[in-house]
Amino acid sequence: MSTHANTKMLSEADGYDLLRRFNVPAPLFEITTSPEAAAAAAAKIGYPVVMKIVSPQIIHKSDAGGVIVGVKTDEEAKTAYNTIISSVKAYNPDAEIKGIIVEEMAKPGLELIIGGKIDPAFGRVITFGLGGTLVEFHKDVGIRILPCNDEEIHSLIKQIKGYKLISGYRGEAPKDEEFLFQTLKNACEFFEKNENVVEFDINPLRLYEKGGCAVDARVIVQDGPVELPPHYDPSKIVPIDYYKPRSVAVIGASDDKTKMGYAVFHNLLQFPGKVYPVNNKRSEIQGVKCYPTLSAIPGPVDMVAITVPAQLVPGIMEECGQKGVKMAVVITAGFKEMDEDGRALENRMVEIAKSYGIRIVGPNCLGLILPPYKLDTTYVSTSPLPGDLAFISQSGAIVNAVVGISLSEGSEMGYSEVVSVGNQSDLDFLDYMSYAQRDPHTKAIILYIEEIKNGVAFMEMAKEITKTKPIVAIKAGSSQRGQAAAASHTGSLSGAYEVYMEAFRKCGVTPVKTLPGAFKVAKILSDVTRAPKGRRAVVITNAGGFAVLSNDYAETWGIEIIDLPKELIDEMNTFLPPFWNKNNPIDLLGDADEARFRGVFDVLCRNPDLWDMAILVNFPNKVLSPEQVARVLIDYSKKTENLLVGTLVGGDCMKPGVSLLTQHNIPVFEELEFTYRTLGHLSWTADR
Ligand code: ADP
Ligand code: MG
């Protein structure tokens, strides 16, 4: 996606005219080119007026001394005219001065900003928040990706911190939220219908108890229509049989354990179909007959894994075409990620593949693993176990680490698909997601994303997938430094992280921050009946300290610890000892036995509409074993569809309870902050 280089800023007057056509109110104005004309215009408009510089080079007029407000007489108007001209000349001697705009002075109101820009991946994005000259200071803005519906506009208004100033702060009368909603909607329409608008902002939009008014407009246009990212095109998606080869050849297979070609071929030995090593220096590799070239292989070859140096790859691709190969996993690095020569090499490889209809995984990747089919084209040291998670990663190293962790003791993690996407020269995130969508083994999808190029298509596809399978995503680059690092190698917009978060919200993807979080959240969400319906939590514990910490963590991660209704407290009073805290978190005290916990869960499960999740927090003690705690949760999880989670803090002695809960598919944590963080991520889905 690119924008024409030829952009220009419309004058404030032209901006007002354009916005007015979309029912965004703007002040009356006149452009003048002499002090006398300014005074005459001001008299006609009616004092007081505001006078501002009109110059294409002056983007922030106040900074240049180009704005004077509250002009009350003809004399003042003439003086203001001259003052503005001389300030602007001093500020920028080269600025071309087109005149002075004399405007009706809008009465004071709440100053807001409405802006729009084109995101290279996600297309038109609008921004809304607290505005005025302090906009950078407030940094209180929300965004929406267009097109967006009424509900999304309403929630955008409510999501900013400054919403209190709109709804009526400290006894002030509320502002006209309906007008604001209409104006935002109109601004969206203005942006979508004017295809040559690259960027705009209305700052400030003054909002009153009744109505409002734009008092500045900056609109940047280009010559032709803006080019937007493409929509999802299902015809581009790889047919599923491409992932089901009957035979796989490894180009560059090796007997030398230090070579990638060794590990790749070794991992493929478990594949139940045919596997062929290709290497012109050997007759046998790892005990299997070796062929000097791909064409020398007698039978058909459906898939190849390529580990030979980049310069050789276009030639090999040509050979693949002749041989009728359908899919090439290009593990080799040294393509566009390296330099211009590498880029040219990659383009050539892709062109050849295209001409034969070969689809490419990579290059510059770890490869593809489909554990249910025992297909592992990577050089990870041990293949992961089959299971129901698809893990799609833009980092090969993270794939390696995740596979390693999944095989470590006590982990019961298995995968349906593991892929490192590499340079995505052909197959990209969408293809691998589409595979996971269609694959019957996959229950949930985890993405590790640095950058998505085709964001619009991504959202369209993810929206479909998340109707049946949850998608959890780690988006790298949330920090200032991370964004700068990402920008320096991808050239992406700063602030893009927020656009990703908004895109995820829009299409039902759950963002998380860490790998353990990703696995926990994916696991819980893949049991759809348990996904929390909201943020309301009840905490039941025998540990006062954890009750206090629960409040802190819950607040940090946006979990709402509800006040218990009196009826529930009354009911609990009938069986709890008189000194229980009668509050949520429910502290059943250190001597709490199983019966106390069961009693509370019994009451909760009979009142499921009052809460969305119940968290049992327990520590090692003699009255109650971790297995007993686990049993309580297991029994009551059969009696409610709400989410029940356990947190057993205390290390190894709690393990029997932890593994019992794990076996019964009940989310369990061994660290309290992680509980709330995970629940916070989960509730993201509930809010939509
Ligand atoms: P800048 O280019 O510096 O953003 P603006 O046109 O936004 O210039 O003017 C600066 C400030 O002056 C505005 O934020 C607003 O508070 C005030 N202002 C500008 N135009 C008007 C107007 N027509 N009525 C009332 N106040 C105005
Ligand atoms: Mg302004």
pLDDT in tens, 13-47: 999 999 999 999 999 999 999 999 999 999 999 99
Using the predicted structure, report yes or no on whether residue 487 has a pLDDT greater than 60: no
**Token pair belonging to 138:** 């407030």
52 lines ligand 1 (CB under 6 A): yes
User: Please, are residues 648 and 493 in contact by the beta-carbon 8 Å criterion?
Assistant: no
Omega before 363 within 30 of 0, i.e. cis: yes
Over 60: is that where the pLDDT of 601 sits? yes
pLDDT tens figures, 460-483: 999 999 989 999 999 988 777 766
Q: Which atom of ligand 1 is nearest to the CA of 133?
A: 14
Which ligand sits nearest to residue 201's alpha carbon? 2
Ligand 1 atom with least separation from CA of 63: 3
Question: Would the CB of 15 count as within 6 Å of ligand 1?
Answer: no
Per-residue confidence band for 306, with pLDDT thresholds at 50, 70 and 90: very high
Residue 528: band (very low, low, confident or very high) from pLDDT cuts 50, 70, 90: low
397-421 mean pLDDT: 86
The strand ranges marked E within 208-310 are: 212-214, 218-222, 247-251, 274-278, 284-285, 288-289, 303-306
Burial status of residue 89 (CB atoms within 10 A of its CB: 0-12, 13-18, 19 or more): middle
Q: Whose CA is nearest to atom 10 of ligand 1?
A: 62
- The span from the CA of 380 to the CA of 418, in Å, is 11
> 1 pLDDT exceeds 60?
no
What is the atom index within ligand 1 of the atom nearest the CA of 204?
A: 14
Q: What is the distance in A from the centroid of ligand 1 to the CA of 215? A: 6
Mean pLDDT, range 118-133, rounded to an integer: 92
- Residue 60 Cβ contacting ligand 1 at under 6 Å: yes
204 lines ligand 1 (CB under 6 A): yes
Mean pLDDT along residues 273-294: 95
Q: In this structure, which residue's CA is closest to atom 4 in ligand 1? A: 60
Q: Tell me, what's the pLDDT at 681?
A: 84
User: CB-based contacts of 113: which residues, under 8 Å, 6+ apart?
Assistant: 127, 128, 129, 130, 131, 132, 135, 141, 201, 202, 203, 204, 205
Mean pLDDT lowest among 15-24, 196-205, 494-503, 605-614? 494-503
CA 218–ligand 1 middle distance (angstroms): 12
Best mutation site among 19, 31, 50 for ligand 1, i.e. most ligand atoms within 8 A of its Cβ? 50
Query: Residue 286: CB within 6 Å of ligand 1?
Result: no
Q: How far away, in angstroms, is 103 Cα from ligand 1 center?
A: 10
Ligand 1 mean position, distance from CA 628 (Å): 67
- Given the CA of residue 61, which atom of ligand 1 is nearest to it? 2
Judged against a pLDDT cut of 90, whether residue 144 lies above it is answered with yes
Give the tens place of pLDDT for each residue, 635-677.
999 999 999 999 999 999 999 999 999 889 899 999 999 999 8
Instruction: Quote the tokens at residue 435.
Output: 């595979």
Q: Is pLDDT above 70 for 429?
A: yes
DSSP 8-class letter at 389: E
pLDDT band (50, 70, 90) for residue 687 = low
Closest ligand 1 atom to residue 59 Cα is: 2
- Pocket of ligand 1 contains residue 61 by CB under 6 Å: yes
Ligand in nearest proximity to the CA of 214:
1
Q: Probe ligand 1: pick from 19, 63, 69, 136, max atoms within 8 Å of CB?
A: 69
pLDDT at 410 over 80: no
pLDDT given at position 493? 35
**Using a 6 Å cutoff on CB, does residue 608 contact ligand 1?**
no
Measured CA distances, 481 to 298, 331, 489, 511 (Å) = 54, 29, 13, 20
Question: How high is the pLDDT of residue 447?
Answer: 97
618 Cα–ligand 1 center, Å: 58
Does any ligand 1 atom lie closer than 6 A to the CB of residue 216? Answer: yes
439 lines ligand 1 (CB under 6 A): no
Other Cβ atoms closer than 10 A to 338:
14
pLDDT of residue 489: 41
Ligand 2 centroid–CA 190 distance in Å is 19
Section 41-63 average pLDDT: 94
Using pLDDT thresholds of 50, 70 and 90, give the confidence band for residue 2. Answer: very low
Ligand 2 mean position, distance from CA 187 (Å): 16
What is the predicted pLDDT for the residue at 490? Answer: 37
* 205 CA to centre of ligand 1 in angstroms: 9
Cα-to-centroid distance, 164 and ligand 1 (Å):
23
Instruction: Give, using CA atoms, the residue closest to atom 21 of ligand 1.
Output: 215
pLDDT given at position 529:
63
Whole-angstrom distance, CA of residue 91 vs CA of residue 439:
63
Q: Of ligand 1's atoms, which has the minimum distance to the CA of residue 218?
A: 2
User: 201 in ligand 1 pocket by Cβ < 6 Å?
Assistant: no
Q: What is the pLDDT of residues 313-338, one digit of tens each?
A: 999 999 999 999 999 999 999 999 89
**Whether the CB of 54 sits within 6 Å of ligand 1:** no
215 lines ligand 1 (CB under 6 A): yes
Instruction: Look up residue 210 and give its amino acid.
Output: K
Q: Spell out a b/e string for 452-473, using b for 16 or more CB atoms within 10 Å of the CB, else e.
A: bbbbbbbbbbbebbbeebbbbb
Sign of CA dihedral 486, 487, 490, 495: positive
User: Going by CA atoms, what residue is nearest to atom 14 of ligand 1?
Assistant: 132
Q: With a 6 A CB cut-off, is 387 part of the ligand 1 pocket?
A: no
**Taking 50 as the threshold, does the pLDDT of residue 494 lie above it?**
no
Distance 132 CA to ligand 2 centre (A): 6
Residue 638 to residue 69: CA distance in whole angstroms: 68
Q: How confident is the model at residue 523 (pLDDT cuts 50, 70, 90)?
A: confident
**Whole-number mean pLDDT of the chain?**
92
Interval between CA 149 and ligand 2 midpoint (Å): 27
CA of 216 relative to ligand 1 center, distance in Å: 6
* Residue whose token pair is 């694959």: 439
Which of 29, 72, 216, 220 has most ligand 1 atoms within 8 Å of CB, for mutation? 216
Q: Is the pLDDT of residue 199 over 80?
A: yes
> What's the gap in Å between 1 CA and the centre of ligand 2?
29
pLDDT value, residue 486:
53
Nearest ligand, CA of residue 66?
A: 1
Closest C-alpha to ligand 1, atom 20: 215
Between CA 461 and CA 466 the distance in angstroms is: 9
Pick from 215, 218, 219 the residue to mutate for probing ligand 1's pocket: most ligand atoms within 8 Å of its CB: 215
* 30 in contact with ligand 1, CB cutoff 6 A: no
Which ranges in 65-195 belong to alpha helices (H)? Answer: 74-91, 135-138, 150-159, 163-167, 177-193
What's the confidence (pLDDT) of residue 358?
97
What confidence tens digit (pLDDT) does each residue in 215-273 have? Answer: 999 999 999 999 999 999 988 889 999 999 999 999 999 999 999 999 999 999 999 99
Tokens of 264: 């790749």
User: Distance, CA 66 to ligand 1 centroid (Å)?
Assistant: 10
**Position in ligand 1 atom list of the atom nearest CA 58:** 2
Is 66 or 406 the better-scoring residue by pLDDT?
Answer: 66
Is residue 402 over pLDDT 90?
no
Ligand lying nearest the CA atom of residue 203: 2
Closest ligand 1 atom to 203 CA = 7
